[in-house]
Each structure stands twice: as structure tokens, then as C-alpha cells.
Structure 1
């Protein structure tokens, strides 16, 4: 199916056989892809004994497939469906990036200003460091501090007010924006920056600028939002020979910009359609251009087999989104894991595809499924060159 799918998707069939035949071939390839992915999804979750999950596949402005597997909670009969709400963990960072870039383009917030300008209670080791650590360096995971700083205190259920004073202990390991340094505590302060620059709550800003216009009807923020949903997947952790339901925790929810969103696969399909450029009245081309810019290079080469085909594949972090540069194209994505949930979201502007994966257990099936999907969809180096050559000929 892999070779056949790539043949239909990337050869200029419309020029060779006519638009109607090309469209039929592509539709058939999409149906085959969706059917095979459903099989892969069910098999992977069944093998790992994951209680439940949901997914969405989009192409351009269409939802190709919405699927689900299993139950919302072990020992209960309620099934997961495409509207079941899951925690999004660090996928929430993509919403923060979207909001902050919107505010910057409207002149409400300056990404180049020190974070302390918007969060006066933030105290770092000295005044020079406070001036250097700006909003964009935190948004792009390039603050320069040791990775996951004081995240153990979030795990220990400490509040932001208890953790914030500890940031004065941070010593840089590199200058800002010079090295990748993943953070949750610092990233969480970006919500305060949005609030200070607008006078509105962070949650209400994302709701009015993203959730509502994209009709993400089940999306919410925080533990209260999750518990209020009648159709929610409960988290599971390993217990004995299988998985056991655990009570959702408030700890990472207290940092909403970093890990506060709840949403369903159907919600996120609409989000991806907008990220692919098909809702310009909500996400403008200028906004998407900034969100798609690589800023901080991540160490090492991307590990999936699909990337090994490309000599110069590299991984980056942008304004709230991760990305892989391969050849002249990029794949944008983010994943997460928190207290019994494992989400994943990604999209590829060059192919027009997007993928959502949600599970209510921490087994790493999303990585395997995403790797399989993009192996089918992304062109190999030879097809990528052929596609670029065809585009150049058409431009002459």
C-alpha cells in the first residue's frame, strides 16, 4: 500500500490523465490509508492493553477519518468515541504559541520583551539574566536553563506561588536561544504574560480566539473542565498485570499554558484544518508563518525510520510547536504525557495531512502509530525531488 499510495499522491496525475481520474485515485488511496490506519490503531492499543483511545485524520479542509477504540474507564462499559474528551498535556503548548503570536501581531504583547516585563513577580539569578530571558526564548524552549527545571515540584503538587521563588536559583547552561531546554514551569508563566497584556484570563483568551471560532465545542481548560465533561476518558496507570483507573490530578493543570487543555479528537481535527491554512479568518497566513518558523535547534537527528531516508533531517522547536525539517519540507507536531494520558498532534503542509492521537494510558503507542502513519504519507527522498522538479517545470 505504501508504494501505491505515494504513487497516486505525488505523481502529477491531473496532467497525465485528467482531474477526474486523479481525484478518484487519490480518494481511493485515502480510503485505503484510513482503513489500514484503523487496523493499526486497534492492533497497537489491543497489544498494549490500553483501555481506550481516539484519532482523527485530516486532509486539507476535510476530515478523512474519525475513529476510536475501547472504553473510557477500565471496568465500565461506556465506550470512547470521537467526542470523548482527553487531557492534552504538552500539546497545550501549541495553543499558547498560537495565542501569544496573535497578541504580538496585534501589538498587545512584544515577544522580544523580557518575560519579567509581563510577570513582575519573576525573579531570576540577576538583572542581566532577567533582561536576556525574553518571552520568545521561553516560548521556543530556548531559555538556556537546565531542562525540566523544578518540574519535580509540580509532581510534588506544589503550587505556582510556591515554585516561583525557586526560579531565582536557576543558573544558565547556555545563552538564551542558543540551546534547546524544555521547560514547563517557565513556559507556564506565558499565561501570566497574556493576562497582563490584555486584562483577561488566559483560559478566556484561548476560548474566544481559538476554541469558539473553530467550534471546538468540548474543549476546555483545567481539572474542573475535564470533570465537567459527561463524555471524558479517565486516566490509567499500570497496576498489577494491567491498567487501573487513577484520579485526575490538578498539578500540571495549574500551569495552563504548558499543560492545561482538554479536548476531543473531533475538536482537534478542526484545529488541524485551521493549522493547514483553511481557516484564514481565524488563523491568518501571517500567524501561521510565524508559528511555522524554526527557532531553536534540538540536539541529535530525528529517530524515526522515515527520517533516516533524509541526509539532512533536523529537529527544531518554534513558537509552541516542534518540527522536523527534512529536505525542503517540514512536519509540525507536539506530543505529551501526563498522569495517565498520552496525546499527539501533527500536520504536514506539503502533503496536506494532519493526525491526532489520544489515549487514556501512558503506554507509548502514539509514537509507533504516528511513525507508521507518516511513513505512508511523506514522500521518500526520490519522490520529494520529483515533486520539487515538477513544481519548477510548472513555474517556467
Structure 2
């Protein structure tokens, strides 16, 4: 058994514990090394009411993991010469405005995709959740007092980020999601990846969101809210789809995503200091945290970690990889349990030969390996 296979075996045992613990309604996980899937596993149920099990083809909502698809498409449009990262939003969308005239004029594609708009954190997400339509919220950005000049600091956005969809339509004459399907999903063989709630519910196998009901789980119907902003949170995909996405983002599909493009997407642009203290594993392992283009870039005990998480009602998702080692993991689950979130840093610790820490609370199932690694 190879070292990497042993690591995958340890991870598999931790997933066994989570399955027995009942802490998730359903979970799909994959571990990839050097373009090969080392572990592919589903546990629990896509629908507890019917006892349909989670499998590798079960489709989940990705929430904010969608952002990297938007930035990747933007990079392909840059490669096509239709725009540059420095293209000003106001030159493409003439009616767009922020409260400050200079910021309105200077805001670039790169700024919106790296959350450097200058708006307060998560501007208008609250109104989106109150059923305000996305186009109206974009118009109302001009009413919001800026926290800082455009391009200076990081503040996470969904509404402003999603303007890349409007930019895409203005430049190509095609809908954003059509371009992603044509340029990314289909070439990568992401056969069940789609956009929107209707497409999710039309999937042959899809994971219902669940909430706790006593000692078991109860499914409910997905909401529409964040689907209204496809670039920020609109993608649905299965574990098999995400394995191909992970391989491509680690450089395994240069025919679709060239290495120069990946380098652009994964180059850190702005500090995100809040990340350094947001969870125990981040506090314990991260030496630096920044945002690139649709990706968070962390210094994980001296190794670069490319990462993103996603969360909407009833769904959670995580993806992370060490580009130097072409080693990564993706996890999708259909409830709001925090337990699976600790599995990724445990896997990274095991791979890097770091002291074992029980970030997921799996107790004595954790196999401490303070020596070795890769």
C-alpha cells in the first residue's frame, strides 16, 4: 500500500466514524492525488424520506464554490481578448454606479472578483433574502456608503461579485450560465453540473437539504434565494463532477484550463485577516490568508493551500488542494452540520506529516502520525 493510499485509508476510517455518529444527513467525499481519485465515497441519504443513498452521482448545491467557476470563465474571456482583468465595469455596464464617482469609474473586473469593491461586507445579502430582485439590488449599490476606496481592502460580496454575469452577457451576447456550460462543464466531462433550482430538481439523483428532527433528519425543499445570482452561488454538481473540476484546477486538464490561467486565478491579491481566526483549524494552522480570484489562498504550515467553502440553507461544501503536491479533497453534504469541516485539515495534516489534531471530533478513531508524511 502506498503512503497516499494509507492516508486515504485513514480518511476513510474518519468518514466511517461520521457515518456511525449520525452527525450528517448525507455526505460525499473524494480525495485526489496526481489526477487520480484515491477515494470516492458517499454516506447517508440524499433523501431520508425515501432512503435514497448518497452516491458519486448525487447532485448537491455548491453555494459559494460556484465563484471559482465564474472567475475561471472570466479568465477564459480574458484569454479570448474580450476583456482584461483591468477592464472597468463602467465601460461595459454604462449605467452602473457606486456612491463615489471615482470608485464608480475605477472599479475593475478583478476588483469585483476579488471582493475589493469597497462596499461593506455582504452588502444587500439581507435584502436578497427578503426577496428583493438582484437587478434592483445592483441599481441600489449607488446608495451604499463605501467603506474604503475601490481596490483597497477585502469585503466579501455576492451581489457585486455577480455582476460578472452581466459583464459576460454584454461582451458575448450569451447568458453567463450557457458560457460556463459550453466552456467548462462540457469540456471537463462534468455531465450532471447545472445552474439553478429547476435544474437541481430535474437531476436524476439529487440531495435534498435536511434539518434535524429528533435523532434523525427531515428533508425539505431547496429555496431559490441565492440561485438568483448564478456567478456567486448558482452551481449544482455531483462528486464525480467535482473530481474533474479538482483535477483541472490542479493542472490536470491544460487542454481546457491552461496553466497560465490557473496561475492568474490562484495568485493572492488581498489580505483576509478574519480568516486567520474564524475556526480552530485556521487559528492552529494558518500563517497567512488572502483572496485571489474565486479562491482563498492560505499558508498552511508553510504550504500553499487553495481553498473555498460554501453554505446555503441545508447545504455545505468544501474544496481544498495543495498545488505543489497536486493533492486535494472535495466534500459535499446536505445539512448544516459543522462536523465534516474538520476532516479536510485532518487530511492535510496527515498528508504533510504534521502532528495529528482531532479537528472534526472523531475521538479515538484518529490515528496519530506525528512522523512521516509526504
TM-score, reference length from structure 2: 0.89
Q: How much is the aligned-residue C-alpha RMSD, in angstroms? A: 2.2
8 A Cα contact 1:50 1:363, kept in partner: yes
1:21 maps to which residue?
A: none
8 A Cα contact 1:295 1:317, kept in partner: yes
2:110 maps to which residue?
A: 136
8 A Cα contact 1:89 1:258, kept in partner: yes
Write 1 or 2 for the structure with the bigger share of strand. 2
**Cα-to-partner distance string for 1:274-305 (whole Å, 9 max, x where unaligned):** 11111111110110110110001101536554
- The Cα of 1:46 is off from its aligned counterpart by 4.2
CA distance in structure 2 between the partners assigned to 1:215 and 1:309 by the alignment: 34
Compare 202-211 and 160-169 and name the one that shifted more.
160-169
CA distance in structure 1 between the partners assigned to 2:282 and 2:197 by the alignment: 37
Q: 2:14 aligned with 1:40, yes or no?
A: yes
Structure 2, unmatched stretches of 5+, are: 356-371
Aligned pair partner of 1:321 in 295, 300, 308: 295
CA distance in structure 1 between the partners assigned to 2:75 and 2:308 by the alignment: 17
CA distance in structure 2 between the partners assigned to 1:73 and 1:131 by the alignment: 49
Write 1 or 2 for the structure with the bigger share of helix. 1
8 A Cα contact 2:49 2:218, kept in partner: no
- The Cα of 1:263 is off from its aligned counterpart by 0.3
Secondary structure of the corresponding residue to residue 254 of structure 2: coil
**Following superposition of structure 1 onto structure 2, how do residues 102-181 of structure 1 map, counting pairs within 5 Å?**
102-181=76-155
CA distance in structure 1 between the partners assigned to 2:205 and 2:310 by the alignment: 21
8 A Cα contact 1:139 1:320, kept in partner: yes
- The Cα of 1:246 is off from its aligned counterpart by 1.6
Aligned pair partner of 1:341 in 308, 315, 318: 315
CA distance in structure 2 between the partners assigned to 1:146 and 1:61 by the alignment: 39
2:346 maps to which residue?
A: 372
**Cα-to-partner distance string for 1:170-196 (whole Å, 9 max, x where unaligned):** 222122232210001111111111121
**Following superposition of structure 1 onto structure 2, how do residues 1-396 of structure 1 map, counting pairs within 5 Å?**
27-47=1-21, 49-239=23-213, 242-300=216-274, 301=276, 303-305=279-281, 308=284, 313-326=287-300, 329-380=303-354
Compare 104-113 and 349-358 and name the one that shifted more.
104-113
- The Cα of 1:345 is off from its aligned counterpart by 0.9
8 A Cα contact 1:124 1:168, kept in partner: yes
